[in-house]
Protein backbone atom coordinates (compact mmCIF):
# COMPACT_ATOMS: atom_id res chain seq x y z
CA UNK A 1 0.00 0.00 0.00
CA UNK A 2 1.29 3.50 -0.77
CA UNK A 3 0.82 4.69 2.83
CA UNK A 4 2.74 1.80 4.42
CA UNK A 5 6.14 2.77 5.79
CA UNK A 6 8.42 -0.17 6.52
CA UNK A 7 10.16 1.51 9.45
CA UNK A 8 9.06 4.21 11.86
CA UNK A 9 10.88 5.11 15.05
CA UNK A 10 10.41 7.78 17.69
CA UNK A 11 12.35 8.65 20.81
CA UNK A 12 11.70 11.18 23.53
CA UNK A 13 14.00 12.29 26.33
CA UNK A 14 12.99 14.80 28.96
CA UNK A 15 14.35 16.16 32.21
CA UNK A 16 12.50 18.33 34.71
CA UNK A 17 13.60 20.13 37.86
CA UNK A 18 10.74 21.29 40.10
CA UNK A 19 10.29 24.68 41.75
CA UNK A 20 11.26 23.36 45.18
CA UNK A 21 14.32 21.44 43.95
CA UNK A 22 17.84 22.83 43.87
CA UNK A 23 20.04 21.99 40.89
CA UNK A 24 23.44 23.44 40.08
CA UNK A 25 24.65 24.09 36.53
CA UNK A 26 28.23 25.36 36.37
CA UNK A 27 27.88 26.48 40.00
CA UNK A 28 24.69 28.45 39.35
CA UNK A 29 21.64 27.41 41.36
CA UNK A 30 18.70 26.72 39.05
CA UNK A 31 15.22 25.34 39.71
CA UNK A 32 11.81 25.17 38.02
CA UNK A 33 13.02 24.29 34.51
CA UNK A 34 12.72 21.49 31.98
CA UNK A 35 14.25 20.34 28.73
CA UNK A 36 13.02 17.77 26.23
CA UNK A 37 14.31 16.33 22.97
CA UNK A 38 12.39 14.20 20.50
CA UNK A 39 13.44 12.48 17.29
CA UNK A 40 11.14 10.92 14.67
CA UNK A 41 12.29 8.77 11.75
CA UNK A 42 10.33 7.23 8.92
CA UNK A 43 11.57 5.15 6.02
CA UNK A 44 10.45 6.30 2.61
CA UNK A 45 6.90 5.69 1.47
CA UNK A 46 6.53 3.20 -1.36
CA UNK A 47 5.73 4.51 -4.81
CA UNK A 48 5.24 3.02 -8.25
CA UNK A 49 8.16 3.88 -10.54
CA UNK A 50 7.04 5.12 -13.93
CA UNK A 51 7.55 2.81 -16.88
CA UNK A 52 6.83 3.63 -20.50
CA UNK A 53 5.43 0.12 -20.85
CA UNK A 54 2.14 0.57 -19.04
CA UNK A 55 1.17 -3.12 -18.90
CA UNK A 56 4.48 -3.96 -17.18
CA UNK A 57 3.96 -1.01 -14.86
CA UNK A 58 0.61 -2.41 -13.75
CA UNK A 59 1.88 -5.93 -13.12
CA UNK A 60 5.38 -5.73 -11.71
CA UNK A 61 6.22 -2.22 -10.55
CA UNK A 62 3.36 -1.35 -8.19
CA UNK A 63 4.86 0.15 -5.02
CA UNK A 64 8.32 -1.31 -5.69
CA UNK A 65 10.20 1.98 -5.22
CA UNK A 66 11.04 3.61 -1.90
CA UNK A 67 10.85 7.37 -1.52
CA UNK A 68 13.31 9.35 0.60
CA UNK A 69 13.33 8.83 4.37
CA UNK A 70 12.21 11.52 6.82
CA UNK A 71 13.86 12.58 10.06
CA UNK A 72 12.99 15.37 12.47
CA UNK A 73 14.53 16.54 15.75
CA UNK A 74 12.56 18.84 18.08
CA UNK A 75 13.79 20.46 21.30
CA UNK A 76 11.92 22.37 23.98
CA UNK A 77 13.26 24.40 26.93
CA UNK A 78 11.16 25.99 29.66
CA UNK A 79 11.91 27.98 32.79
CA UNK A 80 9.58 29.26 35.46
CA UNK A 81 10.11 32.33 37.62
CA UNK A 82 8.28 33.37 40.80
CA UNK A 83 7.44 37.10 40.65
CA UNK A 84 5.62 37.53 43.96
CA UNK A 85 3.80 35.18 46.29
CA UNK A 86 1.21 33.29 44.23
CA UNK A 87 2.20 34.87 40.90
CA UNK A 88 4.72 33.49 38.45
CA UNK A 89 5.80 33.65 34.84
CA UNK A 90 6.90 30.83 32.56
CA UNK A 91 9.05 31.10 29.43
CA UNK A 92 9.13 28.35 26.83
CA UNK A 93 11.38 28.03 23.78
CA UNK A 94 10.53 25.33 21.24
CA UNK A 95 12.51 24.55 18.12
CA UNK A 96 10.84 22.26 15.59
CA UNK A 97 13.01 20.59 12.94
CA UNK A 98 16.14 21.68 14.81
CA UNK A 99 18.52 20.39 12.11
CA UNK A 100 16.48 22.10 9.33
CA UNK A 101 16.19 18.86 7.35
CA UNK A 102 14.36 19.13 4.02
CA UNK A 103 11.90 16.22 4.27
CA UNK A 104 10.06 15.62 1.01
CA UNK A 105 6.27 15.87 1.26
CA UNK A 106 5.19 12.98 -0.96
CA UNK A 107 1.54 14.15 -0.89
CA UNK A 108 2.32 17.63 -2.27
CA UNK A 109 3.64 16.45 -5.62
CA UNK A 110 7.20 16.81 -4.43
CA UNK A 111 8.44 13.48 -5.71
CA UNK A 112 8.99 12.56 -9.35
CA UNK A 113 8.27 8.87 -10.01
CA UNK A 114 10.29 8.99 -13.23
CA UNK A 115 13.57 10.25 -11.74
CA UNK A 116 13.11 8.95 -8.20
CA UNK A 117 14.13 12.37 -6.81
CA UNK A 118 12.59 15.61 -5.61
CA UNK A 119 10.61 17.27 -8.38
CA UNK A 120 12.32 20.26 -10.00
CA UNK A 121 11.31 22.76 -12.64
CA UNK A 122 11.60 21.19 -16.07
CA UNK A 123 11.11 17.58 -14.94
CA UNK A 124 8.85 15.41 -17.04
CA UNK A 125 5.52 14.57 -15.39
CA UNK A 126 4.71 10.99 -16.44
CA UNK A 127 1.11 11.08 -15.22
CA UNK A 128 -0.05 13.69 -17.77
CA UNK A 129 2.94 13.78 -20.20
CA UNK A 130 3.82 17.41 -19.46
CA UNK A 131 6.76 19.36 -18.10
CA UNK A 132 6.40 20.50 -14.48
CA UNK A 133 5.32 24.11 -15.08
CA UNK A 134 6.29 26.04 -11.97
CA UNK A 135 8.71 28.90 -12.25
CA UNK A 136 10.42 29.45 -8.92
CA UNK A 137 12.00 32.85 -8.51
CA UNK A 138 10.40 34.33 -11.61
CA UNK A 139 12.44 32.97 -14.53
CA UNK A 140 11.89 29.91 -16.65
CA UNK A 141 15.56 28.97 -16.29
CA UNK A 142 15.46 28.78 -12.50
CA UNK A 143 15.88 25.17 -11.36
CA UNK A 144 15.20 25.72 -7.67
CA UNK A 145 12.62 23.50 -6.03
CA UNK A 146 9.41 25.22 -4.84
CA UNK A 147 9.12 25.25 -1.03
CA UNK A 148 5.76 23.49 -0.80
CA UNK A 149 7.24 20.14 -1.85
CA UNK A 150 8.99 19.95 1.54
CA UNK A 151 7.70 19.74 5.09
CA UNK A 152 8.13 22.99 7.07
CA UNK A 153 11.70 24.17 7.73
CA UNK A 154 13.10 24.99 11.18
CA UNK A 155 10.58 26.87 13.30
CA UNK A 156 11.45 28.68 16.53
CA UNK A 157 8.57 29.49 18.88
CA UNK A 158 8.96 31.59 22.04
CA UNK A 159 6.10 31.56 24.51
CA UNK A 160 5.38 33.33 27.78
CA UNK A 161 2.67 32.39 30.26
CA UNK A 162 1.43 33.94 33.47
CA UNK A 163 0.63 31.55 36.35
CA UNK A 164 -1.01 32.08 39.71
CA UNK A 165 -1.81 29.79 42.62
| C-alpha closest to that of 83 among 146, 2, 1, 164 | 164
| C-alpha closest to that of 32 among 94, 95, 92, 96 | 92
- Residue bearing the bigger pLDDT, 46 or 14: 14
SS3 letters across 29-83: EECCEEEEEEEEEECCCEECCCCCCHHHHHHHCCCCEECCCEEEEEEEEEEEEEE
Angle at alpha carbon of residue 133, lines to 65 and 46, rounded to 5°:
15
Q: Which residues contact 136 (CB under 8 A, 6 or more apart)?
A: 121, 142, 144, 145, 146
How far apart, in Å, do the first and last CA atoms of the chain sit? 52
Q: Which residues contact 144 (CB under 8 A, 6 or more apart)?
A: 120, 121, 136, 137
Predicted local distance difference test score (pLDDT) of residue 131: 55
Using only the alpha carbons of the chain, give its radius of gyration.
23
Confidence band, pLDDT 50/70/90 cuts, at residue 154: very high
Q: Which residues contact 85 (CB under 8 A, 6 or more apart)?
A: none
8-state DSSP, 104: B
Q: 84-138, pLDDT tens digit by residue?
A: 888 999 999 999 999 999 888 877 666 777 777 777 666 666 555 555 554 444 4
Domain map of the chain by residue range?
1-103+152-165, 104-149
Global pTM reads 0.74
Amino acid sequence: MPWDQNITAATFIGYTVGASEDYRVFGILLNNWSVSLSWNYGSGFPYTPYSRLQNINELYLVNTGDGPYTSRVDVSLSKGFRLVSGLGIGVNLSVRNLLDRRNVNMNAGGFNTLTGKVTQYGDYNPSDQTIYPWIAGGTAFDVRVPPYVFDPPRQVVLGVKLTWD
